[in-house]
Amino acid sequence: MRWRSALLGALVVVPLLVVLALGFGQDPHAVPSVLQGRAAPHFALQSLAGTTIDLDTLRGKPVVINFWATWCYPCKAEHDLLQDAAMHYGDKVQFLGVIYQDRETNVRQYMHGRPDHYPQLFDPGSRVAIDYGVAGVPESYLITAQGTIAYKHAGVLTPQLLHQYLDAWTAQGSQPTDAAKPLREGTAP
Rounded Cα distance, 23 and 169, in Å: 35
How near is the Cβ of 52 to other proteins at its closest, in Å? 21
Instruction: Select the residue interacting with other proteins from 31, 39, 44, 171 (CB under 8 A).
Output: 31
Torsion of CA 131, 143, 100, 129, to 10 degrees: 10
Residue 4 contacts other proteins per CB under 8 A: yes
Q: Which CB atom, from 82 or from 134, has the smaller least distance to other proteins?
A: 134
Q: Which CB atom, from 19 or from 168, has the smaller least distance to other proteins?
A: 19
Rounded Cα distance, 94 and 96, in Å: 7
Residue 35 contacts other proteins per CB under 8 A: yes
Binding mask 92-111 toward other proteins (x if CB under 8 A, else -) reads ---------x----------
Residue 21 contacts other proteins per CB under 8 A: no
| Of residues 115-144, those binding other proteins (CB under 8 A) | 125-127, 129-136
Rounded Cα distance, 29 and 57, in Å: 34
Which residues, 6+ apart, have CB-to-CB distance to 48 below 8 Å? Answer: 104, 107, 108, 111, 119, 120, 121, 122
Tell me whether the omega of the peptide bond preceding residue 159 falls within 30 degrees of 0, making it cis: no
Exposed/middle/buried for residue 48 (C-beta within 10 Å: 0-12, 13-18, 19+): middle
Cα–chain-centroid distance for residue 115? 19
How near is the Cβ of 33 to other proteins at its closest, in Å? 8
Instruction: Find the part of the chain contacting other proteins (CB under 8 A) among 32-40, 42-50, 51-59, 176-184.
Output: 32-40
- Rule CB under 8 A: which residues touch other proteins? 1, 4-5, 8-9, 11-12, 15, 31-35, 101, 125-127, 129-136
